[in-house]
Amino acid sequence: MKLYVGMVEPYTYSQNFVPGSSGLDLSVVSDAEFRIRKPDGSTDTWAGTLSNQTATTLTVTYDLAATPSDIDVAGMWKFYLAMTVPAGEMRTEDWVEQVYREHGT
């Protein structure tokens, strides 16, 4: 799904994760949040909801706010997922998402 400035509920942001080379058992993840750096340098944190959780897969979803405050800047956004595990916190590698302006704005 493409992300656009001003997107609000009922849209969600969702990502699927696999353990990759870390070998992490994803079934032990108890909490997760998306950590974000926007193109203007500001940062944000989105609390995720865990689902489809097994040892080898995990889906994390964030429900966008009712007001257009979550996705407020067009450009390349940098994300990573911070996961709470019994040993503390683990994080994924960074990835980027393009946020587009609505046509005509």
* % helix, strand, coil for the chain, step of 5: 5, 50, 45
User: Which residue, among 58, 52, 62, has the nearest Cα to 3 in the 3D structure?
Assistant: 62
For tokens 């009922």, name the residue.
10
The predicted pLDDT at position 93 comes to: 92
CATH architecture label of 3-100: Sandwich (2.60)
Using only C-alpha atoms, the chain has a radius of gyration, in whole angstroms, of: 14
- Spatial separation of the C-alpha atoms in residues 93 and 53, rounded to whole Å: 19
The predicted pLDDT at position 22 comes to: 75
The predicted pLDDT at position 66 comes to: 85
pLDDT along the chain (105 residues), means of 10: 89 91 89 97 96 96 89 96 95 95 65
The predicted pLDDT at position 103 comes to: 55
